[in-house]
Structure 1
Amino acid sequence: MSSTPASAATAVLTPERLAAAYSYAAYRQLLDELLAQGLTTGPNQSEALLHYAKLNEQRMSRLDKTVQLLPEVTAELARLQGQYVWLVITEGWCGDAAQLVPVIDAIARASGGHLSTRYLLRDENLDLMDRYLTNGGRAIPKLVVLRADTLAEVAQWGPRPAPAQELFLGLRAQQAAYEDIKTQVHTWYAKDKTLHTQQELVALLRQLA
């Protein structure tokens, strides 16, 4: 792909704002520090959100240790030529983020330096979040792929793999209880074992090669 000069018209965010975003290690450290204080990310705090945040820390820790990249993922990573930033909009209380962010970061770490990840909290970056709404809502996580040199958008993905999104929307249309929706969606993630997430990210990688 040919590069284009960076400009305010094409860059999704400034280099300074990107530099202030969290690395994965810093994001995880932030979540741990907040949990130690009985808090989670974002302006809204409640026992329910704290409960979700604790579950999410366990989910991320498990996935960090168990994610195994598919052969097609490593094959696409080997074809990459350019340098890209995978910018992820997320929050510590978001269950979907806990299921997906470790997979996103594992793929980036395996890229041989072609991909780097940075993390921004949704509720501290609503101007950016509102460019990437899903059905009019601020659904997360949202992955925005940027050229490293121009910070221009190349692709985007999220907030869920297509089968999980279909399940979620179907349950909402049936007016299922919130806890039932959460249980069924997380059960889907557990059974899927990151397969559809990785397959959809392979399709995204093919747009970059």
Structure 2
Amino acid sequence: MPYCQPMPHRDDTFAIKICGLSTPETLEAALAAGAEMIGLNFHPRSPRYVTPQRAAELAAPARGRTQIVALIVDYAPEQAAELARILRPDWLQLHGSEGPEQVAAIRRATGLPVMKALGIATAADLEQVAQHRSVADRLLLDAKPPKDAAYPGGHGRPFDWSLLAGLDPAFRFMLSGGLVPANVAEAVRITRPAGVDVSSGVESAPGVKDAGRIADFVKAARAAAAELKKAGQA
């Protein structure tokens, strides 16, 4: 049974997600910029980590104004269900080594839509898309972390976006990894994603979000998506 009624989401809407928010000021900056999603990070090794209780406080003013995403790493289904009870997010983002069965189990346990992050470095990594596409509500294609990384994610490094050229054009995914205000428009033009996700790319230091960079990122991503939409209708 669901622990909350998620905020409705439309799969045909280009979504911009600002992840790893940890202060009321920067969360408000993401809302003011018009981000469709805000992410709260629950991985203890991340510099963006927040406790469930702190996350619930941060999420309160955002509820109903944007979609709240809880980023978790290798949670058991019962852990995910408990976090869902406390935070009442709109989405769960699985950013660990969760296989298709674990994704499905967490989805059943929480009753929430699930976004599964897949690390991409080579064409071989795209084999994961077919394995997870049928069990996740959305896939996030992210840069594969360095082998010695203490936590998942792109660590501010983009992957080769041309690797995605062979994907099914009907496949709607979100893009992450090394995105910044200066390159997000190019990334959108090349990969044609359903949305983009940024964390370190809008920071002045690890874990410290910058309101100006958030605004610049959202503006650049939104303009690029609008250009693609206009070109598709021409």
After TM superposition, is the score higher than 0.5?
A: no
- Provide the TM-score with structure 1 as the length reference: 0.30
Higher relative contact order (CA 8 A, sep 6+): 1
TM-score (normalizing by structure 2): 0.28
Higher strand share: 2
Higher helix share: 1
